[in-house]
Amino acid sequence: MRNIGIIAAKEFRSYLNAPMAYIVTAIFLALSGTFFATYLAGTNYTDTSLAGFLNAAGFLILLFAAVMTMRLIAEEKKLGTFELLLTAPVRDAEIVLGKFAASIAVLTAMLALTLYYPLLLIVFGDPDLGPIATSYFGLLLIGAASLAVGIFASSITSNQIVAAVVAGGILFGLWFLGTATRFAPGGLGEVLSYLSLVDHFPDFVRGIIDTRAIVYYLSVTALFLFLAVRSIETGRWG
């Protein structure tokens, strides 16, 4: 735990010292705010929900994750600092978890900045707070899974662009599995639907916390963090 904390704190500070987190957060807020507001305007301000924001947020978080994680390991490989990290008495899993924790912290901070959307709804209307809370929980779960995919992608290359593209590819693939279910027959469709990143999210928006969904997101997260650890281990064999 101690080592995870040390690595997470260092990575979090790196995020704050570099412009990337601020740029991505600014873009995220600008786009999600626009979706939030235009949806409300579209209903002539009769609806008091986050639907506009939530429809876009999941997808935006995928982009966010691919960009925010691309340097986490790839850059260390390029700069040679990975040699410092891998020869320190630190487990490979601690390295991965430390970096993951830092990226989750940045995502949480970014989502916290959107809390003024529900605040506006509370001030000017009477929104149902339950679904809003579960929606944010769902977004964090999507975020965790996406960040894990990004860290895995970053662990297999020393090129940040490659890492971002690979992460984007995997994430969009998982995302659009949901669309594929429409063309797949019966059982296969259900399987694909279960594997899709997006198909579990609507429940959270409706205020339902489905254990299957939580298990799904946490499994994806754990799987890709595990793959990242394995990829580092494999690297030690040259």
Partner 1 sequence: MIRVKNLTKSFRKRLAVDDISFAVGKGEIVGFLGPNGAGKTTTMRMLTGYLMASRGEVWIGKHNMATESLAGRRLVGYLPEKVPLYNDMTTRSYLAYAARLRGLDRKQAKARIDAVVATCGLADYVDVILEKLSKGYRQRVGLAQAIVHDPEVIILDEPTAGIDPIQVAQTKALITELGKDRTILLSSHILPDVSAICERVIVINKGRIVAEDRIDNLSDTMKSGKRLRLTINGPAEAVSEALSRIDLLLSVTFDKPHHYIDYPFNQEPQAAITRVIVERGWTLLAMEPAGMGLEDIFFKLTDDAGSIQ
Q: Does 19 bind partner 1 (CB under 8 A)?
A: no
Cα–Cα distance measured from residue 56 to residue 177, given in angstroms and rounded to the nearest whole number: 17
Q: Does 101 bind partner 1 (CB under 8 A)?
A: no
Cα–Cα distance measured from residue 201 to residue 166, given in angstroms and rounded to the nearest whole number: 23
Sign of CA dihedral 34, 160, 199, 119: negative
Our CB check for partner 1 shows the closer of 11 and 199 to be 11
Our CB check for partner 1 shows the closer of 13 and 212 to be 13
Our CB check for partner 1 shows the closer of 17 and 46 to be 17
The site that binds partner 1 (CB under 8 A) totals a number of residues, namely 24
- Contact between residue 29 and residue 111 where contact means Cβ atoms under 8 Å apart: no
Q: How far is the CB of 33 from partner 1 (least distance, A)?
A: 30
Q: Does 91 bind partner 1 (CB under 8 A)?
A: yes
Q: How far is the CB of 164 from partner 1 (least distance, A)?
A: 19
Helix-helix angle 20-42:92-112, to 10 degrees:
40
Q: How far is the CB of 181 from partner 1 (least distance, A)?
A: 42
Residue 75: strand, helix, or coil: helix
Q: Which of 18, 208, 209, 222 binds partner 1 (CB under 8 A)?
A: 18
| Tokens 């992460």, located at residue | 167
Q: Which of 26, 43, 45, 83 binds partner 1 (CB under 8 A)?
A: 83
> Whole-angstrom distance between the N-terminal and C-terminal Cα of the chain?
28
Of 179, 155, 158, the C-alpha closest to 167 is: 155
Q: Does 14 bind partner 1 (CB under 8 A)?
A: yes
> With 0-12 CB in 10 A as exposed, 13-18 as middle and 19+ as buried, what is 124?
exposed
Q: Which of 88, 122, 161, 191 binds partner 1 (CB under 8 A)?
A: 88
Q: Does 73 bind partner 1 (CB under 8 A)?
A: no
Q: Does 236 bind partner 1 (CB under 8 A)?
A: yes
- Contact between residue 230 and residue 95 where contact means Cβ atoms under 8 Å apart: no
Strand (E) or helix (H) holding 23: helix 20-42
Q: How far is the CB of 178 from partner 1 (least distance, A)?
A: 39
- Contact between residue 230 and residue 222 where contact means Cβ atoms under 8 Å apart: no
Q: Does 26 bind partner 1 (CB under 8 A)?
A: no
Query: Phi then psi for 49, rounded to 5 degrees?
Result: -130, 170
Q: Which of 89, 185, 186, 187 binds partner 1 (CB under 8 A)?
A: 89
Q: Does 82 bind partner 1 (CB under 8 A)?
A: yes
Residues contributing to the site for partner 1 (CB under 8 A): 3, 6-7, 10, 13-14, 17-18, 79-91, 236-238
